[in-house]
Amino acid sequence: MDKFPQVGQIVKVLRGKDEDSYAVVISIIDERFVMIVDGDKRRFDSPKKKNVLHLELQPVISSEVVNSLLESGRVTNTKLRYVIQKFAHAKGE
């Protein structure tokens, strides 16, 4: 897996008040920062700017999120919650 995050990739937050939760990368600002959302506390309309050093990249890129962003430029919060829930469930958490 690339050490650089990609749009649609699921990440685990290692620092901050959302520590130990999962989120999805929805945009990349530069090589140090990305915007993440979880569809719950962090909704699509108010993404969190995160330093990539504070994220643990998961080996999963959600095609549903990527396709949705390509088609409409946005992702519903329901879809984000579903994708994260499905991922956490598959990991057995």
CATH number at residue 19: 2.30.30.30
Structural domain boundaries enclosing 65? 9-91
Distance CA 54, CA 72 (A): 29
Q: Are strands 33-37 and 48-51 parallel, antiparallel or unpaired?
A: antiparallel
pLDDT of 18: 93
- Identify whether the C-beta of residue 84 lies closer than 8 Å to the C-beta of residue 22: yes
Is 2 part of any domain?
Answer: no
Alpha helical stretches, state H, 3-57: none
Residue 80: CB atoms within 10 Å? 24
Predicted pLDDT of residue 2: 60
For residue 4, tell me if it sits in a domain. Answer: no
Please state the domain count of the chain.
1
Answer yes or no: is 49 within a domain.
yes
Q: Report residues of the chain scoring pLDDT below 70.
A: 1-2
3-state helix, strand, coil in the chain (%, to 5): 30, 30, 40
Which pTM was predicted? 0.94
